[in-house]
Every structure is written in C-alpha cells, then in structure tokens.
Chains A and B, each alone.
Chain A
Amino acid sequence: MDIQNPKFVCRDVRVHYGDFEALHGINIDIADRGVTAFIGPSGCGKSTFLRTFNRMNDTIEGARVSGSVTMDGQDIYDKGLDPVLLRARVGMVFQKPNPFPKSIYDNVAYGPKIHGMTSGKAEMDALVERSLRRAGLWEEVKDRLKIAGTGLSGGQQQRLVIARAIAVNPEVILMDEPASALDPIATAKLEALIQELKERYCIIIVTHSMAQAARVSDKTAFFYMGDLIEYDATEKIFTNPGDTRTQDYITGRTG
C-alpha cells in the first residue's frame, strides 16, 4: 500500500527471542497522523512488532531485532541513537493500566521531570492540566490530584497512563490492547479519546477486537504466524479482504 510521507518505514524486520523467530521479515509503511491497527490471532507477533517502534524489545533479555525501521527517515536501530531519546518521541500505553505508585499529579509530571521539559512549578501545573485535559480525565480528577494514581478505576487509570504519555509531547503513541482490561463504557470513552488524539499524533494500536479496529482505525494490518498478511485501508480489510486468511480471521473462522 502506498503511503505519502510515512512516519515509519520498516524493511525486512525480523525479531528473534533466542533461537525463536517471532517475525519473519515485515515490510510496512506507517502513516503520520491517523490510526493504524494491528490485528491477528494471539501469538502472531503483532505486539512484538509494536514494541520495535520504541525499541521496548531491548528491555527483554535475548530479544534481537534485524532489518531496518526508520522514523522520519532516521534509522531508529542506529548504534548512535539513544533509545531513551527515541522513547521520549514514541510513547506507549500498555494492556494493563500501569500507573506508578505515586499521586495522579506525579504520574503525569514524571516524564516531563526526567526530560527537564518545564522550568518552575507553574509551567508544570499547566502541562499536567493540559495533558489530563487531552486525555479526557481532568474533570474527573482535578480536585484530587494528590491521591494515588493506583486508586482510580481501571478506565481512569488507562486514561491517566495516556495523559502520562502525552505529557512528554510524543509524536507517536503506541497502544498495546489498551481496552482489553476495560468495561464497555470505559472502552467507549477510550475509543472517543483515540479519535481526538489522532489529529495530533501518529497512533498505532494492537487490538484483539475486530469491532474496535473497524471503529477506530484508518488502516489495518493483519498479522498471522509472524508474517504481515495484508495491509490496507480499514474499510477495505473489513469489507473486501484480499487474502482468504484475513477473511477467515475477521469472520471468526480462525483465531
């Protein structure tokens, strides 16, 4: 699929865990702005692939990535590139909400603090408020910023984690099954939030819910057994898939 000015260009990306090859040479271009969804059955490598975009696989012992991944034309696996700086540009939201054992305020302020993004308390207050507003959580927590982030509900925690990611002003937000631990109402709120965020950020979302992929994404990539089977506009994938394996998966015959 042809994409104008892609944010990421991946060529022959392979990921090994020890001797096991989890991804067998993925080629894909990811658009800047908008939502790209990765779908596929469990163990197909979609989460592994997502973690190559911010080099989170580096933190797993025995994981190796080969091939090339470029972001705005720059190889993110270049030896001279500091993964710490990359992760400041590519934020990530995980499957299970993982707020730090700190207050709501400190959770959001954590990233800006370590990157030295603000000078003074007033600026930080403003940044925290802006991030929480963008994550759609401000109204619910503005009177209790000092309580522990772990005391919020699951859906609120997940939006807090998104606020935390937004606060470091990333260009990309990776989401690894962000709604799988949430109830339908919290999920709906989260999906509405993704719709707003896609105006500003490049969002890549891994999801097990076909309906969610269809609702929130602009483009969908279908992974199967470590291969990228099909990648196209979401509408096309869900109405007229080109591969029978995609067809079988989205109609529920496999996976």
Chain B
Amino acid sequence: MDQIILYILILMVVLTVGGFIYNKNLALDRYLSSRAHEEIGTTLLKGSGWHSQASYHGYFTAWVVGFCSFLLFVAGLYFRNGSEVYDLIWLALVLASGVCIVFLLNRKISPEFAARTWVERFIHFCLIVLSFIAVLTTFGIVLSLLFESLRFFSKVSFLDFLFGLQWSPQTALRADQAGQSGSFGAVPIFAGTFLIMLVAMTIAGPVGLMIAIYLSEYASAATRKIVKPLIEILAGIPTVVYGFFALLTVGPTIRNFAETLGFSVPTQSALAAGVVMGVMIIPLISSLSDDVINAVPQSLRDGSYALGATKSETMKQVVFKGALPGIIGAFLLAVSRAIGETMIVVMAAGRAANLTGNPFEAVTTVTVQIVALLTGDQEFDSPKTLAAFALGLVLFVITLILNMIALSVVRRYRERYD
C-alpha cells in the first residue's frame, strides 16, 4: 500500500477524534455559560434548556467529519492517477475539508440544535447500510449462480439435466475425439447425495435424540456439565479429519467385515461416508434437541409427575410432544448440513456416479462433483465447468427450502411457550 493512503487514513482518524473533542468542549463551555444560575461542577442537562448533552454535539461533528472525509478518500482513490501532486492535493483536500467542517459546525452548537436526534439518525443509517451489504452479498451469490446456470442450460437441456440418469461430464478436448459431448443427467448424483444423507441421519437421528433426552432429563447436573462439552468437541473436529478417518479407518473396517461374510465391498462406499457424516452431525442434533427439550416448561413435567406418571411416560407423552416441532427443526437443519457437506464425501464416498440404493457401493454426491468439475484444466465456458453452477444452484435451492421449513417450524414452537 502506498504511504499516502496510510497517511490519509490516519488523518481521517485524527480529524474525527479531534472534531469530537473540540466541539464537545466548545458545547460544554457554551452550555455552562448559558446557565441561569451557577452550579459549578455539574453538567446536568435537565432544566437547562439545551436539547442535547455536550457529548452529542461532539459525536455529531465526528460523524459528519468522518463521513465526508471517507467520501473524499474513496473519491480520491477512484480518480488516482499516480502523480505525486495529485496525492498531495488529495491529502490537503481531506485536511482542509475536515477542519472547515469542524469550524462550520461550531455555529450549530446551540441549545436548540437536536444533536442527539441527528446522531441517532446517523447510527440508524449506518446499520441499514451494513445490513444491506449482507443482503446484497447474498443476492450477488445467487445471481452469479443463476446466470452461470443459465449459460449451462443454454448448452444442455434443463430437463435432461434434472431427469437424466447418466452422469459423465467428460467433454472432448478436440472436436474429433470420441464421446465429445458428455452427458449431464443429475439424477445419480442427487440419488447418491440422498443415500449418504439417509445413512447419516439413520446414525445421527436416533443417537443425537437419545443423547439429548439423556442429557436434559436423566443426567445429573454434574454429568451434563462434563458430557455436553465433550460431545460438542465432535462438532469442532475439522471435516477433513473426519474425511480421512472415513477413508482410512471406517471404509477398510467395513470392507474387511464384509469380506469375512463373503461379500466384496469397495473401501469407498456410501456407508463409510454416511456413518462418519452421521457421527459428525450428532452434536448438531443433540445440542439443538437438548435446547428445545429444556425449553419445555418444568410445570408440564410437574403436572405429569403429579398425576403419577413415571419419568419415561412424562418424557414420551408430554415433554417429547411439546418439543417435537423443535426436534423436527433440528433434524431438518441436520439434513441440510448433511447434503451440503463436502470434505467427508470427497474423501470417502468415491466419484463413480452409480445410480444405486445399495449403501455398500461407491456413489458420488453433488458437492463431490462440483469439486471435481472445477478442479481441472478445463476452459471456463465449457459445459463441464458450467455444470458445477447448475448443481450448486439446485443444491442451494434444496438447502434453502429445508432451512426455511426448519426455521419456521422452530419459530412457531418458540411462540408457544414464551
């Protein structure tokens, strides 16, 4: 970075802070001298006739100076041409405008000026701008997915993509090569994704739910204090570690076990990836379910116990029923996590786009294919790379819908007890 940019940034901070201190003290002086009777040592606003505290006059100055010099800074960056004279004029302009504004605003410091209201408006404005940045980023991502997908669909038919049963995205490098147009039927890879997700949920659903029930209803406070963080460690393990755990430990174990039974099973299989992914999302389900089970009011449990219900009857018929919407929400969030998970499946599920319901076979998932399509020497406008965007779009839509359902279910549940 050029030094001049650093200087201007420092200057901006100095101007802002200086403006704040200078005008705040000025306001304080005027305010004290305007008081009808002498109450030295107090700056109480009440009854003085001033609208805003002195510090708000300072903040107001700071905001205006900060904002204007920021605009000048950005504008200067935009028009910069590399000449030193330009840079010096730029610096001088920032300095002069800052100092001018501070002194111009001196005149504004009066009992009537609503500095506090203005400061609050500024803050309001900044918060809106910041939240817009987040929203716009999301929109940008969605739009880029959408446009790249449209380019893909101009080369491959939408229906062939969504309902085709054959996935082999290899395209020819030379026009006279055999098999030059790959086939982009996405059904096998979505089937693989759902197969792995099903395996994962078969593991994580019951285990996570039982952990949640144990922790919230049966474990003593001391046990809970130790066990809960231990389980949550699972959530902190990097997924790539899970990935090679699946590839090097779970996969071979499954293969060896199947061999002793006389079956031949590949090391990379939907089962290996699914099992490990299930372990990974156990804490997601157990933590969220534990929270919703705890949110069921104690008074409901008391009511049930008082009728002579046992702990398990209370759990099954009252607490579980009350927590069910929240538990469903937790499951849906876990599903969308499983669908979007990449690293484990890249390492453990394989890349063969088999259309199968057999978890012992190697399958491939949407995320794996996106990785495969984008890591290569392909030119960027070939159907092969563009297919990644179409896959990403469909995946995004699916997880978006799942998350929306999950959140609305959870929200409806919250309204009931708060």
Query: CB within 8 Å of B: which residues of A?
Result: 54, 56, 59, 61, 84-89, 91-92, 94, 96, 98-102, 110-111, 114-115, 150, 161, 164-165, 168, 174
Measured between alpha carbons, how far is A89 from B300 in the docked complex, in Å?
Answer: 19
CB-CB under 8 A from A168, the residues of chain B are 307-308
CB-CB under 8 A from A115, the residues of chain B are 308
Closest A-B pairs by Cβ, 7 of them: A88-B308, A92-B306, A87-B308, A98-B299, A111-B307, A98-B303, A101-B322
Decide: A56 and B306 in contact? CB cutoff 8 A: yes
CB-CB under 8 A from B304, the residues of chain A are 100, 110
Q: Which of A56, A85, A102, A174 interacts with B305 by CB under 8 Å?
A: A56
Nearest CB of B to A196, in Å: 21
Measured between alpha carbons, how far is A237 from B416 in the docked complex, in Å?
Answer: 43
Majority secondary structure, B binding face: helix
Measured between alpha carbons, how far is A123 from B299 in the docked complex, in Å?
Answer: 29
Decide: B308 and A161 in contact? CB cutoff 8 A: no
Q: Does B81 contact A (CB under 8 A)?
A: no
Measured between alpha carbons, how far is A59 from B304 in the docked complex, in Å?
Answer: 12
Measured between alpha carbons, how far is A245 from B303 in the docked complex, in Å?
Answer: 34
Decide: B303 and A114 in contact? CB cutoff 8 A: no
Decide: A85 and B307 in contact? CB cutoff 8 A: no
Interface hits, B283-340 → A, CB 8 Å: 297, 299-310, 313, 317-318, 321-322
Decide: A84 and B306 in contact? CB cutoff 8 A: no
10 A-B contacts, Cβ less than 8 Å apart?
A84-B308, A84-B309, A98-B300, A101-B318, A101-B416, A110-B304, A110-B317, A114-B309, A114-B313, A168-B308
Q: Which of B310, B317, B318 interacts with A84 by CB under 8 Å?
A: B310
Nearest CB of B to A178, in Å: 13
Task: Count residues of chain B with CB under 8 A from any CB of chain A.
Answer: 21
The total number of A-B Cβ pairs within 8 Å is 75
Decide: B313 and A94 in contact? CB cutoff 8 A: no
Decide: B302 and A164 in contact? CB cutoff 8 A: no
Q: Does B221 contact A (CB under 8 A)?
A: yes
Q: Does B3 contact A (CB under 8 A)?
A: no
Decide: B302 and A56 in contact? CB cutoff 8 A: yes
Q: Does B220 contact A (CB under 8 A)?
A: yes
Decide: A164 and B305 in contact? CB cutoff 8 A: no
Measured between alpha carbons, how far is A94 from B317 in the docked complex, in Å?
Answer: 19
Measured between alpha carbons, how far is A88 from B309 in the docked complex, in Å?
Answer: 8
Q: Residue of B at shortest CB range from A59?
A: B305
CB-CB under 8 A from A84, the residues of chain B are 308-310
A-B contact sample (5 more), CB < 8 A, given A61-B220, A85-B308, A150-B416: A56-B306, A101-B416, A110-B309, A115-B308, A168-B308
CB-CB under 8 A from B220, the residues of chain A are 61
CB-CB under 8 A from B318, the residues of chain A are 100-101, 110
CB-CB under 8 A from A164, the residues of chain B are 303, 307
Measured between alpha carbons, how far is A115 from B310 in the docked complex, in Å?
Answer: 10
Q: Which of A61, A91, A114, A150 interacts with B306 by CB under 8 Å?
A: A91
Decide: B321 and A102 in contact? CB cutoff 8 A: yes
Given contacts A61-B221, A100-B321, A101-B322, contact A87 B416 (CB under 8 A): no
Decide: B297 and A98 in contact? CB cutoff 8 A: yes
Measured between alpha carbons, how far is A56 from B308 in the docked complex, in Å?
Answer: 10
Q: Which of B221, B308, B416 interacts with A111 by CB under 8 Å?
A: B308
CB-CB under 8 A from A100, the residues of chain B are 300, 303-304, 317-318, 321-322
Measured between alpha carbons, how far is A191 from B416 in the docked complex, in Å?
Answer: 29
